[in-house]
Amino acid sequence: MFRRMTEATRLVRQGRLLDATARIQEHLGGGGRPGPSPTTTPGPSRATGTVTRGSAAAGGDRRAYRLHVPAGLAPGAPLVVMLHGGTQDADGFAACTGMDEVAERAGVAVVYPEQSRSANAMGYWNWFRPGDQTRDAGEPALIAAITRAVTAELRTDPSRVAVAGFSAGAAMAAVMAATHPDVYCGAGVHSGLPHRAAHDVGSAFAAMSSPPTSVADAGPVPLVVVHGDGDRTVAPGNGEAVLRSALVGATPGRLDRSTGRAPGGHAWTRERFTEPGGRVLAESWTVHGLGHAWSGGPAGVQYADPAGPDASAAMLDFFGFTGAAGMPRQRAVG
């Protein structure tokens, strides 16, 4: 890891950003386990809904998406936007998380935007580039366009739309929450980094190994963070940094802490922070022994660890999508 960091830093200083990007991509897919290729065959789905494909455009660019609609989706149902990690595609991420099945039971639609290989050869969302960290520009504009298009198509509740992701997709989910608080009511950051943790390839590589000590304000959107303390790809301290970013300028009134263990698997610690008035600020799941993998994902699928608690179910619970009321809207006018 140190050798790759040194080499990436040297390449950045030489202005060889494409070569440096390749090094950070190797590290993101590292940790001793190869990442899934675009041709990875997903595991079987137990969801009974329908899967369709579409695309949306913004700023003269376009991204494709995979859409799962549960059988009998009710008008005004919630929507979850899922952002895949590097070397994954939409199908692979759906298989990795098992979100289709969890959302099917809850009556929630799920859309998986897919990064273009022309924008990033390894399929990473470019969360570390300043042009992709602001509202109505770059990849955030494209993801927001997909969100709005699917919301309009399905007539889902625009006040109950959440975004979540894994690894590079988790870092981009943090970007989306910070830049589009009027679009998303909650965000899930699994094995990711806080918004504006980096400004180029070199600083992204450094942040992955050495989490930032100071963080930008994540904004008003409640965050749920999931991170394994055995993650060798994105250092566990980044999960703590995401949590800190959600608490910047806030006055936590209550901390609820609980512990447990997935049946036959990893132990976990959960912390939930609320303001004195009861508004939820953030929730953090530390999964003990989990590496760089989606907690509770199906067995036999890359970047999934079935020995952990079900992160997909935990996120839907946090967003309030498993009950009739849903999470109270924490809207900020952008």
> Looking at the predicted structure, is the pLDDT value of residue 263 above 80?
yes
Query: What's the predicted TM-score (pTM) here?
Result: 0.86
Q: For position 132, what pLDDT does the model report?
A: 96
What are 265's two structure tokens?
Answer: 């698997």
> Stretch 16-25: mean pLDDT, rounded?
51
**Most confident range, picked from 21-25, 172-176, 245-249:** 172-176
Residue 233 has pLDDT above 80, yes or no: yes
- Given pLDDT bands bounded at 50, 70 and 90, which one contains residue 190? very high
* pLDDT in the model for residue 118: 92
Positive or negative: CA dihedral 325, 327, 328, 333 = negative
**d(C-alpha 324, C-alpha 53), whole Å:** 28
Segments of the chain assigned E as strands: 50-58, 61-69, 79-83, 109-114, 161-166, 186-190, 223-228, 254-261, 267-274, 280-287, 294-295, 304-305
pLDDT at site 333 = 25
Instruction: Give the mean model confidence (pLDDT) for residues 148-164.
Output: 97
pLDDT of 255: 87
Domain range annotation of the chain: 59-319
Q: How far apart, in whole angstroms, are the C-alpha atoms of residue 279 and residue 127?
A: 28
Predicted confidence band of residue 27 (pLDDT cuts 50, 70, 90): low
305: closest CA among 230, 201, 220, 217? 230
| Cα–Cα distance measured from residue 250 to residue 273, given in angstroms and rounded to the nearest whole number | 10
Q: Which of 137, 182, 154 is nearest to 65 (CA)?
A: 154
| 41 pLDDT above the threshold of 80 | no
Identity of residue 324:
A
DSSP label of 271 = E
Residue 249, pLDDT score: 82
pLDDT of 12: 47
**Local structure of 224: helix, strand or coil:** strand
Look up residue 329 and give its DSSP letter: P
Query: What's the pLDDT at 279?
Result: 86
Of 109-123, 135-149, 248-262, 275-289, give the lowest mean pLDDT range: 248-262
Chain segment 291-330, per-residue pLDDT in tens: 999 999 999 999 999 999 999 999 999 999 985 333 333 3
At 265-302, the pLDDT tens digits run 999 999 999 988 888 899 999 999 999 999 999 999 99
Strand partners, 285: 226, 270
Q: Which of 289, 200, 209, 194 is nearest to 30 (CA)?
A: 209
Most confident of 32-46, 230-244, 246-260: 230-244
Tell me the fold of 59-319: Rossmann fold (3.40.50)
Residue-wise pLDDT tens digits, 172-182? 999 999 999 99
106-122 confidence digits (pLDDT tens)? 999 999 999 999 999 89
| Predicted confidence (pLDDT) per residue in 68-81, tens digit | 999 989 999 999 99
DSSP 27-82: HHT-TTSPPPPTTPPPPPP---SEEEEEEEEETTEEEEEEEEE-TTPPTT--EEEE
